[in-house]
Amino acid sequence: MIAFLIKRIGSAILVMLAVAFLAFLIFAVAGDPVEMMVNEQATQADRDALRERLGLDQPFLVQYATFVMNAAQGEFGISYQTQRDVMSLIASRLPATLELVFIASMLSLLIGVPLGVITAIHRGKWFSEGLQFLSIFGVSLPSFVIAIMLILVFSVMLGWAPGFGRGETVQIGWWSTGLLTASGRNAIILPAIALALYEITLVMRIVRAEMLEVLRSDFVKFARARGVPRRIVHYRHALRNCLMPVATLTAMNFGTLIAFALVTETVFQWPGMGLLFIQAVLSLDFPIMAAYLVIISAIFVTLNTLVDIIYAVIDPRLRQEKI
Amino acid sequence: MTLQVDQEPVLTRPSRFARMRDSDLWHSFVTHRGAVVGACMLVVLVVAAFAAPLIAPQNVYDSAQLQLMNARVPPIWQEGGRWPFVLGTDIQGRDVLSGILYGSRTSILIAVSAVVLSLVIGVLVGLAAGFFGGIMDNLLMRFADVLLSIPTILLAILASAVAMDMLPSGWRALGAAGVIVFAITLSNWVQYARIVRAQTSVERRKEYVEAARLLRVSPRRIMLRHILPNTLTPVLVAATLSFGMAILAEATLSFLGVGMPASLPSLGTLIRIGNNYLFSGQWWIVLFPVLQLSLLVVAINLVGDWLRDALNPKLR
């Protein structure tokens, strides 16, 4: 087990080093930062001084090592655009994104699982076939299309929920939450649904497929034969055996959702780190771009590694396998 | 004793069309309602998109045809709507229908190029890695791990933004299409490489490959003529499905502003432009491009879903 842990964590660290290298490359191809930071009147001596201060006179590999050391401590430099510390900028936007993604994950479970069960139990009935057909749209349509439709219908035409911004927020320590005010709760509804829809259909399809499999198994037949009520067979015996893949999917997709939130955030002008990233991309603010890439990948890799390790704890056979 | 072979059976090969009509694939296609509907939609949309210069009322690339007095005309069935602006016009007087037709053509061309390019790169790299194994294989898999640990959308946005920045400013508009193809390919080829590699490392141990080796067939020929055809089915299925993904990726990039510029709009660009007028009452500028994009992707996925099931030997 310990050997497995070391191997798995080691490869995660290697992957992160490579991602950091990619992030570092962004700076390398992006042109000379000295030229971006100095003003017109700067003399050659000024430039050289700045170059030395930024460590740009060092060899390439030394610069990369410095970048990695700083990144590991959450040091990503200063934003070109706002002249503020990149890490504190991202930290101030993090709560908005995490709240959105968390609510979307909850929605996908609360809606996706029951829909999956219903379509599996009532297989062949018109409404479950209809739902199955609709799920093609859920998988096909990009989140910004869904977001725009939601805004058009529920906020422009019906006026039920706001179509942009985050509403009022309450500050708890460094965490700002919109969930404690009425306007904040109203504002999160549409973006959360827009972000969750893809995941809802995914969860629904997986639960349906798993349920169909389990419903055919012997223990379900036995429970039925014993006269256990239908509801209990479906929800206690069958559903429980379907939840493992759903839990894995939700955990793994948390990272994907954070990345995809950037599209939703752009449509709804939701002040999360995705919106920060897109604004940085459009104004070529490289430190923010690099930091976002490293942070998102770190979340991604951590989740994947955790899932692998938990699997290995549950199922010892997986420890033997080559990684 | 001589062997009489005068009764040689006459083997007339049925025509290509007849063979196609007789195949399993064709049968499963015509009996699958979703696939037929999807394919019909797809044909109509693609033909309309490529006939854009013939059927569109306006050439959207010719800024001389844009007139501000035609700006913000609503669709024809609404009050104030007028011919020939069937679906209305946008803020600069660009006809929405023409924009959609030309935009679909751009979107489809970019998506097809991206899928084909990633297919070629992915298949070649995967084939070489699976066939030769060793260091090259290890390198590929590690590299794939790295690329897969970055969300594809993020990789595409970064690649597109950085590459766009490196283009000389005169080339921005035209080079944008190339940059998007590059960005989508970068985030897409790994999946093909992985599929082909897995399949190849199984195939190369089989007897027909041994036989070919004994016959001194060159490794290149073994790879391309013997192993490749046996690895293609799963890759082609993945390619159909990722064609839809490529359309979406392009639309997302353009929507976010790191894709096609407003002078050469794709569907995503049109949606980005229209999105600015969502709250000011001109809903048609955004709604119709959104519908067109949705139709296109749904049609592709309907066909893709069928193809995945039809070519999957486990489900036969």
Six-digit token string for A168: 């009022």
pLDDT at residue B198 greater than cutoff 50:
yes
Lowest-confidence segment of A156-170, A289-303, B10-24 by average pLDDT: B10-24
Q: Tell me: the pLDDT tens digits for B99-133?
A: 888 888 888 889 999 999 999 999 988 888 888 87
- Report the greatest alpha carbon distance in chain B: 96
pLDDT at residue A58 greater than cutoff 50:
yes
DSSP A123-174: TTSHHHHHHHHHHHHHHHS-HHHHHHHHIIIIIIIS--S-SSS----EEETT
Q: What is the mean pLDDT of chain B?
A: 79
B223 touching A (Cβ < 8 Å): no
Per the CB < 8 Å rule, is B146 touching A296?
no
Question: According to the model, what pLDDT value does residue A269 have?
Answer: 85
pLDDT at residue A170 greater than cutoff 80:
no
Q: Tell me: the pLDDT tens digits for B267-307?
A: 888 888 877 777 776 777 778 888 888 888 888 888 887 88
pLDDT confidence bin for A215, thresholds 50/70/90: confident
Per the CB < 8 Å rule, is A281 touching B157?
yes
- Of all residues in chain B, the percent with pLDDT exceeding 90 is 3
**φ/ψ (deg, to 5) at A32:** -80, 115
Helices B134-148 and B96-132, axial angle in degrees (round to 10): 150
Q: What would the mean pLDDT of A5-34 be, rounded to a whole number?
A: 81
- Of all residues in chain A, the percent with pLDDT exceeding 90 is 1
Question: According to the model, what pLDDT value does residue A248 have?
Answer: 81
pLDDT at residue B6 greater than cutoff 60:
no
Q: Return the residue matching tokens 């070529």.
A: A284
User: Which of A281, A292, A296 best probes binding to B when mutated, by most B CB atoms within 10 angstroms?
Assistant: A281
B139 touching A (Cβ < 8 Å): no
Question: According to the model, what pLDDT value does residue B316 have?
Answer: 47
Instruction: Please tell me which of the candidates B162, B275, B298 has its beta carbon nearest to residue A26.
Output: B162
Looking at CA atoms only, how far is residue B46 from chain A in angstroms?
18
Are the C-beta atoms of residues A19 and A292 closer than 8 Å to each other?
no
Question: According to the model, what pLDDT value does residue A323 have?
Answer: 42
Q: Tell me: the pLDDT tens digits for A144-153?
A: 888 888 888 8
- Of all residues in chain A, the percent with pLDDT exceeding 70 is 91
Question: According to the model, what pLDDT value does residue B118 have?
Answer: 92
Q: What is the mean pLDDT of chain A?
A: 81
Between B91 and A134, whose confidence is greater?
Answer: A134
pLDDT confidence bin for B81, thresholds 50/70/90: low
Contacts of B169 (CB under 8 A, 6+ apart): none
Helices (H), A216-272: 218-225, 230-232, 243-268
Query: What gap in Å lies between CA A317 and CA A22, rounded to an integer?
Result: 35
Beta pairing partners, A176: A171
The predicted model scores a pTM of 0.82
Identity at A202, one-letter amino acid code: L
* CA-based nearest residue to B49, from B304, B282, B289, B302: B289
Q: Provide the terminal-to-terminal Cα distance of chain A, rounded to the nearest Å.
A: 13
B287 touching A (Cβ < 8 Å): yes
**Phi and psi based region of residue B133 (left: phi greater than 0; alpha: psi -120 to 50; beta: remaining):** left
Instruction: Please tell me which of the candidates A19, A278, A282 has its beta carbon nearest to residue B149.
Output: A19
pLDDT at residue B72 greater than cutoff 70:
no
* CA-based nearest residue to A205, from A252, A137, A251: A137
Between A303 and B315, whose confidence is greater?
Answer: A303
Contacts of B278 in chain A (CB under 8 A): 148, 151-152, 156, 163
pLDDT at residue B313 greater than cutoff 70:
no
Q: What would the mean pLDDT of A254-278 be, rounded to a whole number?
A: 86
Q: Return the residue matching tokens 């014993």.
A: A226
pLDDT at residue B222 greater than cutoff 90:
no
**Phi and psi based region of residue B201 (left: phi greater than 0; alpha: psi -120 to 50; beta: remaining):** alpha
Looking at CA atoms only, how far is residue A171 from chain B in angstroms?
30
Contacts of B55 (CB under 8 A, 6+ apart): B48, B101
Looking at CA atoms only, how far is residue A317 from chain B in angstroms?
22
Query: What gap in Å lies between CA A131 and CA A127, rounded to an integer?
Result: 6
* CA-based nearest residue to B157, from A68, A85, A31, A280: A280
- B99-130 core/surface letters (b: 16 or more CB in 10 A; e: else): bbbbbbbbbbbbbebbbebbbebbbbbbbbbb
Question: According to the model, what pLDDT value does residue B3 have?
Answer: 54
Within 21-50 of A, beta carbons closer than 8 Å to B belong to 22, 26, 29-31
Taking residue B234's Cβ as centre, other Cβ atoms within 10 Å add up to 17
Taking residue A5's Cβ as centre, other Cβ atoms within 10 Å add up to 14
Q: Tell me: the pLDDT tens digits for A61-113?
A: 788 888 788 777 877 777 777 777 888 888 888 888 888 999 999 998 899 88
Pairing of strands A170-172, A175-177: antiparallel
pLDDT at residue B309 greater than cutoff 70:
yes
* CA-based nearest residue to B119, from B232, B202, B250: B232
Q: What is the DSSP letter of B83?
A: T
Q: Tell me: the pLDDT tens digits for B8-55?
A: 555 666 677 777 666 777 777 777 777 788 888 888 888 877 876 777
Query: What gap in Å lies between CA A206 and CA A252, rounded to an integer?
Result: 14
pLDDT at residue B4 greater than cutoff 60:
no
Q: Return the residue matching tokens 């019909």.
A: B40
Q: What is the DSSP letter of A177?
A: E
Q: Tell me: the pLDDT tens digits for B253-278?
A: 888 888 788 778 888 888 888 777 77
A145 touching B (Cβ < 8 Å): yes
Cβ burial, residue B183 (10 Å; 0-12/13-18/19+): buried
Instruction: Please tell me which of the candidates A152, A260, A300 has its beta carbon nearest to residue B278.
Output: A152
Query: What gap in Å lies between CA B236 and CA B226, rounded to an integer?
Result: 17
pLDDT at residue B199 greater than cutoff 60:
yes
**Phi and psi based region of residue A77 (left: phi greater than 0; alpha: psi -120 to 50; beta: remaining):** left
Are the C-beta atoms of residues A318 and A47 closer than 8 Å to each other?
no
Per the CB < 8 Å rule, is B153 touching A282?
no
